[in-house]
Amino acid sequence: MVDTKVNLSGIIIDNPIIPASGTFGYGHEFAGFYDINCLGTFSFKGTTKEERFGNPTPRIAECTQGMINSVGLQNPGVESVINEELPRLKKYFSKPVIANVSGFSLEEYIYTCQRLDEQDQIGWLEVNISCPNVHGGGMSFGISPQSAFKVTKEVKKVTTKPVYIKLSPNVTDIVSIARACEDAGADGISMINTFMGMSIDLKTKKPVIANKIGGFSGRAIKPMALQMVYRVYEAVKIPILGIGGIADAGDVLEMMLAGATAVQIGSQNLVDPYVCKNIIEDLPCVMRKYKIDRLEDIIGGAH
């Protein structure tokens, strides 16, 4: 019998399959499709201090092997998440959940992280310093080691739970930024967020999405995500949540061999709402195919 459990900063999860923030809401819609307690955990919708309507529509454009999105962190604000979303979540998800946090200032990151850290249902905090589709948002904190260090250090001062910093691939040297986060006390790294991309409508001869440029994600980015996870794994000693283009159990094994302790699945949830459930069910068979008895044994195995 194969063992799919992994240790995520002291919390054992049943399997490494985690829906990524922004593609799974607060779990409510997906709970109507299947029992989401089969997941290792999930990262809920990016939360800011205040309510946000998000960017103007249209916000999403399909493209070859992926999609462009510019949602703009639409969310009800941290107090509504605490008072409304988390009590509802407790009715259909019994495991610790990852709280994804975004901000427009250091003070906002500190406030939102501190509030969510106080909630029993939160197992980990995922601090997004990498959002490419909000003007003046998290991206400005994620483009240099110095700013990444500062956000991480300040958030760690007000939290007790594991803090994972979500990194952007749209930087010159992602390895130095990951090292800065580790030096500042980060418990883990989430990587990668979306690349910058756009799509143009040939009929109107204009960009498809209102924001013109947004985040490019989907199966097409997996090779780029893999090499970044591979390089960062060699530079840091903290766990990595591998993200980017994962759509089947084989992709999960690849990402873990590159150095990920667990994986997040994003865009594919919008293509197939059952993708995470199917991967969890397929994983033992694919592990046996490649003679893998215990998932934790293959983390970083490609190095």
Which of the residues are catalytic? 131
Q: What is the spatial distance between Cα 78 and Cα 50, in angstroms, rounded to a whole number?
A: 7
Nearest to 194 by CA among 260, 138, 256: 138
Identify whether 238 is preceded by a cis peptide bond (ω within 30 of 0): no
Q: What is the spatial distance between Cα 64 and Cα 121, in angstroms, rounded to a whole number?
A: 38
Q: What is the spatial distance between Cα 19 and Cα 98, in angstroms, rounded to a whole number?
A: 10
**Three-state SS annotation for the chain:** CCECCEEECCEEECCCEEECCCCCCCCHHHHCCCCHHHCCCCECCCECCCCECCCCCCCEEEECCEEEECCCCCECCHHHHHHHHHHHHCCCCCCCEEEEECCCCHHHHHHHHHHHHCCCCEEEEEEECCCCCCCCCHHHHCCCHHHHHHHHHHHHHCCCCCEEEECCCCCCCHHHHHHHHHHCCCCEEEECCCEEECCEECCCCEECCCCCCEEEECHHHHHHHHHHHHHHHCCCCCCEEEECCCCCHHHHHHHHHHCCCEEEECCHHHHCCCHHHHHHHHHHHHHHHCCCCEHHHHCCCCC
Q: What is the spatial distance between Cα 266 and Cα 196, in angstroms, rounded to a whole number?
A: 16
